[in-house]
Amino acid sequence: MSQSDIQNLLQQNRLLTEEVKRRIDQIGAINIVAATVSQSLDLDVTLKTALRAVLDVVGAEAGGISLIDEASKEVVLRAQEGWPHDWVTQPMRIPYGQGMSGQVITRDEVVVDNDFDGTEALAVPQFHNENFRAIAMAPMHARNQIIGILSIMSNQRNAFSAENIAVLKSVADTVGVALDNARLYETTAEQEERLHAIYQATSEGIIATDLHGRISLINHAAATIFDVDAERLIGTPLRESPIHRRVRDSLLHALSDNNNDKKSFQVNLDKRLLSIVVSSIVIESSIDQARHNDGWVIVVQDITHFRDADVQKSEFIRTAAHDMKNPLGVALGSLNMLNDFVGADDPTAQELIQLGLNGISRLQDLINDLLHLEQIEHGYGASMTTFKVGDLMEEAVKDIKPLLSEKNLTCVVEAADSLPQLTADRRWVKRAFMNYLDNATKYTEAGDVITARAYGSSTMLYIEVNDNGPGIPVEAQSRLFERFYRASDDRIKGTGLGLAIVKSVAEKHGGGVYVQSQQGKGSTFGMTLSWGTPPPINPTSAG
Ligand code: ADP
């Protein structure tokens, strides 16, 4: 090997060593910035420490960090160091696409101007008086997009070497990711605060528990309803919490149920009535994408005022109805007497009297139906007995015999003798069945057949009345059981309360109502009643 070869080799070796040293310095610089910026999740702190660290490792006297504001489509200066003027308190906002920052974003690469004098087309007005002579800006990325710009500045021309720029480029993304994390953390914290404010402000009581029934959250309203100290309850198992025993037992019962359905019930405390809904919190696991039950949320409402208003309303209806019955009876008696006086030779007077009698009889029907509905809904005078449904049906058909004969209708009762006996309030069940029968006779053409059927499943008794009447349009079917709803024309007498009474009776006996009808082909009206021990008749005593 010649002397010049050796010289060459030594030269190459020196260059290589310098290059390796430079790289090591760069990696060291990146590490320093990375370590510094990951120390805090506070966005303002991260902005300041990141900028300080970058200026140190790059060796620049001034710098800035701008973040992209997606909403206003601007680049906003959030941290600065070494600038004569404060552009952070009154932030420098540069619209997308303008100035050097605009170039950085459009080209998505580092832009360097080592001979800046502020008069260039790219210089935004705010930079004119900052006296910078060299500027380098690098895009910061996070989650595959540009989130801002990291800039370094100097008062000297040609201050930034290729090496400075390489370091700036390398640290920009590290700073970007740290800032993005801090921003995400801030957004999450903000959302959490907003959520906290919302559930604290709601008038409904909210309690959340984990899967084991340990209380993880309780708002002001719940603490007030149960008269407990919210702070001290966090982490306490529900079964050990100092809330009213009756409420606690009902809650524990609802939580012990393994199915995830919503459970709602009412609890009657000494003077108050609480409505409670228990729902399971179901979350989607990011690991196996399955849905898991993660605990429970309990929503409590004090509905004492509704109950009081309801009691007052029904008292008013009862009093008003009783007060109306007497004068109506007197008017009815007088009209009947008048009818006798007038005699058959004055048909106009008789017609007028008949109109008056019809009106009074409709009013009496309405008052009776209203009273019945109130009685059923509030369980006044409820009395449970065990009886054969077939007997009740035969008895009811006998009662409406005059109506059937009037229209020459036949009513067939189909109820197997083997049908188990029903435990229910016989008077109400008969009333409900009579209402179905009554409607069938009212709405069926003369000479037709009505079929009343009873059959059972393991849990329910079904009672149905079928007729070949006019049927009911589909759009009216869902509203038939509402109070005062009438789908028929006014030529057929009715109060619009008959089906509402049936519904109320069925629901009080743990069942419901249904209708199958086709226009022109007749209708089948049905109700279900639970066989067994009847449910509590008065809803306010549940729980
Ligand atoms: P109403 O006193 O008007 O009969 P209901 O509550 O008993 O009040 O019935 C509500 C409406 O349902 C009636 O106005 C009528 O339009 C319709 N309806 C009830 N039963 C029958 C039936 N068997 N056939 C046809 N329509 C019926």
43 within domain boundaries = yes
Same domain assignment for residues 116 and 255: no
Give the Cα separation of 443 and 303 in Å (integer). 41
* Closest residue CA from atom 14 of ligand 1: 486
In short, whether 469's Cβ falls inside 6 Å of ligand 1 is yes
Q: How far is the CA of 513 from the centre of ligand 1 (A)?
A: 14
In short, whether 481's Cβ falls inside 6 Å of ligand 1 is no
Q: Which of 479, 472, 469 is nearest to 437 (CA)?
A: 469
Distance of CA 233 to the CA centre of its chain: 26
Q: How far is the CA of 366 from the centre of ligand 1 (A)?
A: 14
277 within domain boundaries = yes
Q: Which of 141, 137, 67, 74 is nearest to 100 (CA)?
A: 137
CATH of the domain at 152: 3.30.450.40
What SS3 class is residue 93? strand
Q: How far is the CA of 77 from the centre of ligand 1 (A)?
A: 73
Burial class (CB in 10 A: 0-12, 13-18, 19+), 105: buried
487 within domain boundaries = yes
Q: How far is the CA of 439 from the centre of ligand 1 (A)?
A: 6
* Candidate of 407, 480, 483 to mutate for ligand 1, largest count of ligand atoms within 8 Å of Cβ: 480
In short, whether 63's Cβ falls inside 6 Å of ligand 1 is no
Same domain assignment for residues 345 and 263: no
CATH of the domain at 221: 3.30.450.20
Same domain assignment for residues 388 and 336: no
Same domain assignment for residues 422 and 521: yes
Q: Which of 373, 415, 369 is nearest to 390 (CA)?
A: 415
Q: Backbone phi, then psi, for 482, in 5-degree steps?
A: -75, 150
Same domain assignment for residues 218 and 314: no
Same domain assignment for residues 229 and 108: no
In short, whether 522's Cβ falls inside 6 Å of ligand 1 is no
243 within domain boundaries = yes
Q: For 109-165, give the secondary structure using H, E and C.
A: CCEEECCCCCCCCCCCHHHHHHCCCEEEEEEEEECCEEEEEEEEEECCCCCCCHHHH
pTM of the model: 0.54
196 within domain boundaries = no
Q: Which of 163, 100, 176, 167 is nearest to 132 (CA)?
A: 100
302, 331, 351 — which closes off a domain?
A: 302
In short, whether 499's Cβ falls inside 6 Å of ligand 1 is yes
Same domain assignment for residues 415 and 543: yes
CB 418 within 8 A of CB 388: no
Per-residue b or e along 340-349, where b marks 16 or more CB atoms closer than 10 Å to that residue's CB: eeeeeeeeee
* Closest residue CA from atom 2 of ligand 1: 494
CATH of the domain at 431: 3.30.565.10
For the CA of 486, the closest atom of ligand 1 is 14
Instruction: Count CB atoms within 10 A of the CB of residue 187.
Output: 11
Within 13 Å and on the Cβ side, how many CA atoms surround 346? 11
For the CA of 467, the closest atom of ligand 1 is 23
* Candidate of 362, 485, 499, 515 to mutate for ligand 1, largest count of ligand atoms within 8 Å of Cβ: 499
Same domain assignment for residues 542 and 428: yes
The number of folded domains in the chain is 4
Q: Which structure tokens are listed for 176?
A: 């970007």
CB 468 within 8 A of CB 449: yes
CB 142 within 8 A of CB 133: no
In short, whether 219's Cβ falls inside 6 Å of ligand 1 is no
CB 465 within 8 A of CB 451: yes
Q: Which of 311, 307, 298, 309 is nearest to 225 (CA)?
A: 298
For the CA of 435, the closest atom of ligand 1 is 7
Give the Cα separation of 501 and 85 in Å (integer). 80
126, 159, 190 — which closes off a domain?
A: 190
Residue 269, pLDDT score = 84
Same domain assignment for residues 405 and 424: yes
Mean pLDDT per 10-residue section of the chain, whose length is 543 residues:
84 82 72 74 85 87 93 92 91 88 92 86 78 93 93 93 88 88 89 92 93 92 92 92 90 80 82 89 70 85 87 82 87 89 84 89 86 83 91 96 94 95 94 96 93 94 96 88 81 86 92 92 95 50 30
Residue matched to tokens 């229910």: 424
* Candidate of 488, 491, 505 to mutate for ligand 1, largest count of ligand atoms within 8 Å of Cβ: 488
DSSP code for 535: P
Cβ-proximal residues to 104 (8 Å cutoff; 6+ apart), any chain: 110, 111, 137, 138, 139, 149
* Closest residue CA from atom 19 of ligand 1: 439
Residue 287, pLDDT score = 62
365 within domain boundaries = yes
378, 396, 423 — which closes off a domain?
A: 378
Q: Which structure tokens are listed for 489?
A: 């024309």
In short, whether 504's Cβ falls inside 6 Å of ligand 1 is no
532 within domain boundaries = yes
Q: How far is the CA of 392 from the centre of ligand 1 (A)?
A: 22
Q: Backbone phi, then psi, for 462, in 5-degree steps?
A: -110, 130
In short, whether 432's Cβ falls inside 6 Å of ligand 1 is no
In short, whether 467's Cβ falls inside 6 Å of ligand 1 is yes
Q: Is the dihedral of CA 189, 194, 199, 200 positive or negative?
A: positive
Pairing of strands 410-415, 449-456: parallel
195 within domain boundaries = no
Q: How far is the CA of 460 from the centre of ligand 1 (A)?
A: 25
Give the Cα separation of 193 and 92 in Å (integer). 29
Q: Which of 433, 452, 455, 439 is nearest to 506 (CA)?
A: 433
Q: How far is the CA of 501 from the centre of ligand 1 (A)?
A: 12
Give the Cα separation of 267 and 226 in Å (integer). 12
Give the Cα separation of 157 and 114 in Å (integer). 6
* Candidate of 448, 467, 472 to mutate for ligand 1, largest count of ligand atoms within 8 Å of Cβ: 472
In short, whether 440's Cβ falls inside 6 Å of ligand 1 is yes
Give the Cα separation of 78 and 50 in Å (integer). 12
Q: How far is the CA of 455 from the centre of ligand 1 (A)?
A: 23
Same domain assignment for residues 315 and 298: no
Which ranges constitute the DSSP H helices of 379-417? 389-399, 401-406
In short, whether 466's Cβ falls inside 6 Å of ligand 1 is no
Same domain assignment for residues 409 and 511: yes
Strand partners, 300: 205, 276
Cβ-proximal residues to 306 (8 Å cutoff; 6+ apart), any chain: 273
- Structural domain containing residue 312: 304-378
Same domain assignment for residues 266 and 312: no
In short, whether 513's Cβ falls inside 6 Å of ligand 1 is no
